[in-house]
Amino acid sequence: MIVRHLSEIEDTDADIKTENWRSKRILLAKEKLGFSVHETTLYAGTVNDFWYANHIEAVFITEGEGEVENKATGEVHQLKPGSIYVLNDADKHQVRPKTTMKTVCVFNPPVTGREVHDENGVYPLIVEDEVAS
């Protein structure tokens, strides 16, 4: 059993901060669960382009409001607490928070915590070493 609290993640190397968002990576590939879980806060008024070419991501909104645009189709979906969107087809997308939004994100395959978005908003696929933890 794994039990964690966000306070254990804050201000560690699993707490990634940018001008537009902050991601607290709660469970990572090293736990060998087949997925990773993050709490991500997106700041009001920002424009965030992402493309997870190597991952499926599910995003559940717990606080705040905004919208997500499918960059391939131009379709825009409104987001509010209780909304979920799933990027199941390597969807290029843009997230535009109207207010600060808190989300819970699940990635498959799991991220290691070492990924950095490239110029296209893509996380590279990094596989965790098969070393027992």
CB 40 within 8 A of CB 92: no
Q: In what order do the strands lie in the sheet with 101-108?
A: 15-17, 21-27, 36-42, 101-108, 56-63, 84-87
| Cα–Cα distance measured from residue 132 to residue 117, given in angstroms and rounded to the nearest whole number | 27
Predicted pLDDT at 131? 40
From the list 92, 87, 16, the residue with the least C-alpha distance to 50 is: 92
Q: Is the pLDDT of residue 130 over 60?
A: no
Q: Is the pLDDT of residue 16 over 50?
A: yes
pLDDT band for position 52 (50/70/90)? Answer: confident
Predicted pLDDT at 119? 63
Mean residue pLDDT across the chain: 89
